[in-house]
C-alpha cells in the first residue's frame, strides 16, 4: 500500500528535484549542500519525498522573507549567511 500519491509524473518530479539541486542547493555553496545532506533520511528512504518537499517549502519561505520582509528586519532565513550557525 502506497501512503503518498504524487500529482506529478516521474519526469516532472525529476525536473523539480533537478531545479531544487541546481538552483538552490548548489547555488548556495557548501553551506546549503551541508544543510541539505544533513536532512536526508538515509535510514528511511521512504521519507525522501517528504524531505525534498519540506526543503522546497523552507527555501520558498526564506526567499519570501528575504524579499518581502528584509526592510522590516534583518534576514531571518535559517540558513542565511548572517546566521552564525552557517559560518
What is the average pLDDT score of the chain? 76
pTM (two decimals): 0.56
| Residues 10, 15, 21, 24, CA torsion sign | negative
For residue 3, the model assigns a pLDDT of 47
CA nearest to 32, candidates 64, 14, 53, 59: 59
pLDDT at 77 over 60: no
CA nearest to 8, candidates 34, 19, 25: 19
Distance (Å, rounded) from C-alpha 44 to C-alpha 21? 20
Contact 62, 77 (CB under 8 A): yes
Task: Look at the chain and count its residues.
Answer: 87
Q: What value does the mean pLDDT take over residues 44-70? A: 81
Amino acid at each position: 500500500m502506497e501512503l503518498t500519491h504524487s500529482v506529478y509524473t516521474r519526469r516532472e518530479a525529476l525536473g523539480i528535484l533537478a531545479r531544487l539541486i541546481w538552483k538552490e542547493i548548489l547555488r548556495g555553496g557548501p553551506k546549503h549542500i551541508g544543510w541539505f545532506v544533513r536532512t536526508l533520511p538515509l535510514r528511511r528512504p521512504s521519507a525522501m519525498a517528504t524531505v525534498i518537499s519540506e526543503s522546497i517549502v523552507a527555501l520558498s519561505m526564506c526567499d519570501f522573507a528575504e524579499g518581502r520582509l528584509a526592510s522590516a528586519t534583518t534576514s531571518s532565513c535559517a540558513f542565511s549567511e548572517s546566521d552564525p550557525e552557517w559560518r
